[in-house]
Amino acid sequence: MKSHMYAVILAGGQGKRFWPISTAAHPKQLLNLLGEKTLLEMAVERVMDIIPLENILVLTNRSLVDASRLAAPSLPPENIIGEPMGRDTAPAVALSCLLVEHRDPEGVFCILTADQVMENLPLFRKTLIEAAEIASREELIVTIGINPAEPSTSFGYIETDGVYEKRDNVEFFKVKRFVEKPNIDKAREYVANGGYLWNAGMFIWSANTVRNGLNRYTPHLVEMMDRLAPHIETDNFIEHIRIEYERLEKISIDYALMEKADNIVVARGMFAWSDLGSWSAVADHLDEDVNGNVTIGDVQSIDSHGNIVVSKNRLTALIGINDLVVIQADGVTLVCPKDRAQDIKEMVRKLTDDGGYGGVL
């Protein structure tokens, strides 16, 4: 099975909620937010014990290929492929399927992302292996749902519909439906019910299963794959992807396939999992000082509590400041309340509309 197992790590996001330390030219997956290694390098290392390095692919933005190769030096350079433009996850999955089936018609591949963090890695890897075994045996779409730690409104949910199989202490369930991000009352209801899992956006399937599923529900993506196939080992492959992508509208894999398919099972992920979608999520993985401040870089404080401060290569000093996000990077300073950190993306939009404000994006 190992020789037929692949991973495709999606690493093309811009990480706008981490501006100004994350920019279009150097987004969050290329940052070392949680230590010495970049998030992309951590994503590769999570699976390299169970998947050969030559079978680990990274799909990123075309402009980030060189930087991604530097951030993940253990991978063969040709395994890092650049999309010429973003078209959401369904075209990315179709392109991933094409790349895998070209290498191995019997390939089974995992779709993972570079901005997630897992603890208890042995259990995570075991879950992936068992999911891949099922995906290689049957024409099933296998996803991993996370056992909810709290009634979160930040994630979509998967409603289960009875046990499908139990493999070496990993439970698989039939999937009844996918649910969009709920309000807090619905989230509490889902967690109390016990039959709902967080949708972590991780998928495991055979190339044949993906092709058949897309052909049934979004056949234009399979037509794209077939037009690209003759060019896959040529110098103008990326140019042909650009031509194909320009014809496409953005479409997520959830909408294109997952919400329509009737052959889905979900593994209950019992490992700790986090989607690094905000500064608060990053802070959850870092140590606090005695006043509850999480700091990266050169920071001094007096009578300040509960702050998140990033200040590399310069000093940031706080006096009497509480519950703020303060980020210093490349001549830019961001200050906002912690409970408004999700609005950083709106600031990036405003700056983009204003012409990048002198190139700070």
361 lies in some domain: no
Same domain assignment for residues 110 and 61: yes
Residue 45: the pLDDT is 96
152-176: per-residue pLDDT in tens? 998 999 999 999 999 988 999 999 9
Residue 219: the pLDDT is 98
359 lies in some domain: no
DSSP H or E segment with residue 138: none
Burial of 297 (0-12, 13-18, 19+ CB in 10 A): middle
76-127: per-residue pLDDT in tens? 999 999 999 999 999 999 999 999 999 999 999 999 999 999 999 999 999 9
312 lies in some domain: yes
Same domain assignment for residues 216 and 310: no
Same domain assignment for residues 242 and 312: no
Residue 361: the pLDDT is 81
Specify the DSSP class assigned to residue 306: S
Distance CA 91, CA 251 (A): 7
Residue 158: the pLDDT is 97
Q: Which residues on neighbouring strands pair with residue 298, listed in sequence order?
A: 315
Residue 278: the pLDDT is 87
Domain boundary among 275, 307, 331: 275
Same domain assignment for residues 318 and 267: no
13-36: per-residue pLDDT in tens? 888 899 999 988 899 999 998 988
Number of Cβ within a 10 Å radius of residue 342: 14
Nearest to 59 by CA among 130, 112, 3: 112
285-308: per-residue pLDDT in tens? 999 999 999 999 999 999 999 999
Residue 223 reports pLDDT greater than 70: yes
Q: Tokens 């009875």 — which residue?
A: 162
Q: What is the pTM of this model?
A: 0.94
Residue 220: the pLDDT is 97
Which residues touch 79 (CB under 8 Å, ≥6 apart)? 53, 54, 56, 57, 58
Same domain assignment for residues 147 and 24: yes
Domain boundary among 256, 275, 294: 275
Q: Domain range spanning residue 16?
A: 2-275
The mean pLDDT of the chain is 94
Same domain assignment for residues 154 and 241: yes
358 lies in some domain: no
In the predicted model, what is the mean pLDDT of residues 267-273? 95
Number of domain units in the chain: 2
Query: Which two tokens mark 80?
Result: 């890092």
Residue 213: the pLDDT is 98
241 lies in some domain: yes
Same domain assignment for residues 208 and 96: yes
**CATH number, domain containing residue 260:** 3.90.550.10
Determine contact, residues 123/270, Cβ cutoff 8 Å: yes
Same domain assignment for residues 201 and 308: no
Determine contact, residues 245/83, Cβ cutoff 8 Å: yes
307-359: per-residue pLDDT in tens? 999 998 899 999 999 999 999 998 899 999 999 998 999 999 999 888 767 66
